[in-house]
Amino acid sequence: MEVYRVDLTTWYAAGRWVALLEYIDGLPAASRLNEAIANDPEAAAAIAKARQGKEQKAWTPRTAEWDLHATILSSMANDLKTLIAATIKSGGGKPGDIKPFPTPQTAIQEAMKAAEHEWAVEFAGQFGFSAEDL
């Protein structure tokens, strides 16, 4: 197996800012760089200021970090939530809503939702309903 090494100092010296930022963006969420950024007071203040007043989407894991292990663990987490809810219900309690563990959201899924909605609008239109009725 061949090992490729990247000398980031040459990228920096050459002014390859886009390549450097793309490389940094590709680092796993659990990298030392992200830990350092999260614990830097100046970076934390800048991130908080940038997010202030903006509506935050619900967190979902990155597709690049989602593998078989994550799939199995999320399935186990969902099963555990179901068991806990069943136990609460068997004791006469009200378990509430069970929210599944978030999975990566891709443009493919967004396109499929849009196509399904378009089909539903067309189908309902055959019966005299409009898009606002859906």
- What is the identity of the amino acid at 47? I
The whole-number pLDDT of residue 27 equals 86
Average pLDDT across the chain, whole number: 90
Residue 99 neighbours by CB under 8 Å, 6+ apart: 81
pLDDT in tens, 55-64: 888 889 988 8
Q: Where are the alpha helices (DSSP H) in the chain?
A: 8-14, 17-25, 32-38, 41-51, 68-90, 107-125
Contacts 24+ apart (CB under 8 A), 4-12: none
- What is the identity of the amino acid at 131? A
Residue entry with tokens 């309902």? 124
pTM exceeding 0.75: no
Domain ranges of the chain: 1-56, 64-102, 104-134
pLDDT in tens, 25-64: 888 888 898 899 889 999 989 988 988 888 888 889 988 8
Note whether 24 and 33 are within 8 A (CB).
yes
